[in-house]
Amino acid sequence: MGPGQTVAVFGAYGHTGRFVVAELRERGFLPVLVGRDAGKLKELAYRTGLEGRPASADDPAALDRALAGAAAVINCAGPFAATAAPVIEAALRAGIPYLDVAAEIEANVDTFTHFADRAREAGAVVVPAMAFFGGLGDLLATAAMGDRTAADEAHVAYALSSWHPTAGTRVSGAVSRERRDGRRVRRSGGRLEYRHDAPPTLTWSFPDPVGPRPVIGEFTMADVVTLPSHLSIPDVCTYMTVEAARDVVAPDAPAPAAVDERGRSAQTFLVDVVVRSGDTERRAVARGRDIYAVTAPLVVEAVDRVLTGRTRAVGVVSAGEVFDAPDFLRALSPHVTVELPADVL
């Protein structure tokens, strides 16, 4: 089983959803378009020749109809604080795997907290944050660890050439800020801490060609949820280049602009992951283009592996726990260039 199967995409007409639909078709799956806006759904169905099934997160019966006959569902519709739980519930009723591309920290925590037992008991696979933020960093850290399962700390540093946010990124960010009551969050000592002080600014020495760059420290992303969900790492810190951090919150920042036939933007990224145990440091690096577009091969590769039984666990699981991380990263080679420690290549 795998290619040729039907995969429902909730939020199919969104910026990331369109990339996911295109990637599914390229990999031989049959996407079913699902979304809240019947007009946008009809337009996309007309242009692609695919079936559209209107459904909103607050309508369980409509969600059940939308997932009927699907082998899996990918949730691309934020804010995930509102959509993740209802779509997971629908996936559990349908008896199919659920994957999402949520970067919202609190939404991912909710998924692990509220569905871990039920998904495990049902033998279901639920994979949150199977995206650039959360999924890629987790795969890199897991691969860097090799056969180790514990480290003192993990650092995930993002060098983005720019970060022009989508409408969905803006809405999800607003929801997260509201849920945090304006506070920022970091992971330290094995738990999430919510703080009112400003995050530090420091310099991170990225591999070539980026080199040393000023970054916002404790610019916390979904990696602080995914990594420690299966790795014993008490301190997980993520960093963002200063320019990209300013971009994403600027009120006049433009949306991503397509510059090629695949609809990708010109944005480039480098993700530098370092895990430390005592004086030992292990590193994994990924380079690529367009953080939104690259989410599509990440989540579609994950769907393929789930549907073909290439998984290591059931329940609510992160990418690094449920998949063979080095093998998964190698499969991304058409889209991402990866450097791993020599003993895991």
Q: In this structure, are 285 and 144 located in the same domain?
A: yes
User: Looking at residue 301, what is its pLDDT?
Assistant: 98
Measured CA to CA, the distance from residue 302 to residue 295 in angstroms comes to 11
User: Looking at residue 343, what is its pLDDT?
Assistant: 86
Number of domains within the chain:
2
Is residue 1 situated within a structural domain? no
Predicted TM-score (pTM) above 0.85: yes
Is residue 330 situated within a structural domain? no
Phi and psi at residue 47, in whole multiples of 5°?
A: -70, -30
User: Looking at residue 2, what is its pLDDT?
Assistant: 66
CATH number of residue 161's parent domain? 3.30.360.10
Question: Could you tell me if 319 and 137 are in contact, meaning their C-beta atoms sit under 8 angstroms apart?
Answer: no
Measured CA to CA, the distance from residue 167 to residue 53 in angstroms comes to 22
Q: In this structure, are 254 and 299 located in the same domain?
A: no
DSSP code per residue over 100-128: E----HHHHHHHHHHHHHHHHHHT-EEE-
Q: In this structure, are 40 and 89 located in the same domain?
A: yes
User: Looking at residue 341, what is its pLDDT?
Assistant: 94
Q: In this structure, are 281 and 314 located in the same domain?
A: no
Is residue 89 situated within a structural domain? yes
User: Looking at residue 344, what is its pLDDT?
Assistant: 81
Q: In this structure, are 271 and 313 located in the same domain?
A: no
User: Looking at residue 1, what is its pLDDT?
Assistant: 56
Q: In this structure, are 191 and 54 located in the same domain?
A: no
Greatest extent of the chain over all pairs of C-alpha atoms, in Å: 58
Is residue 282 situated within a structural domain? yes
Q: In this structure, are 102 and 13 located in the same domain?
A: yes
Q: In this structure, are 223 and 122 located in the same domain?
A: no
Is residue 309 situated within a structural domain? yes
Task: Extract the tokens encoding 215.
Answer: 């970054």
* Helices of type H across 123-216: 137-145, 167-179
Q: What is the extent of the structural domain holding 128? A: 6-132+295-325
Q: In this structure, are 203 and 312 located in the same domain?
A: no
Measured CA to CA, the distance from residue 94 to residue 70 in angstroms comes to 9
List average pLDDT for each run of 10 residues in the chain, which is 345 residues long.
Answer: 86 98 98 97 97 98 98 97 98 98 97 98 98 98 95 98 96 92 95 96 96 97 98 98 96 96 97 96 97 98 98 98 98 96 83
Q: In this structure, are 143 and 228 located in the same domain?
A: yes
User: Looking at residue 345, what is its pLDDT?
Assistant: 65
Q: In this structure, are 96 and 157 located in the same domain?
A: no
CATH number of residue 69's parent domain? 3.40.50.720
CA end-to-end span of the chain: 28
* Amino acid letter for position 40: K
User: Looking at residue 4, what is its pLDDT?
Assistant: 84
Q: In this structure, are 283 and 311 located in the same domain?
A: no
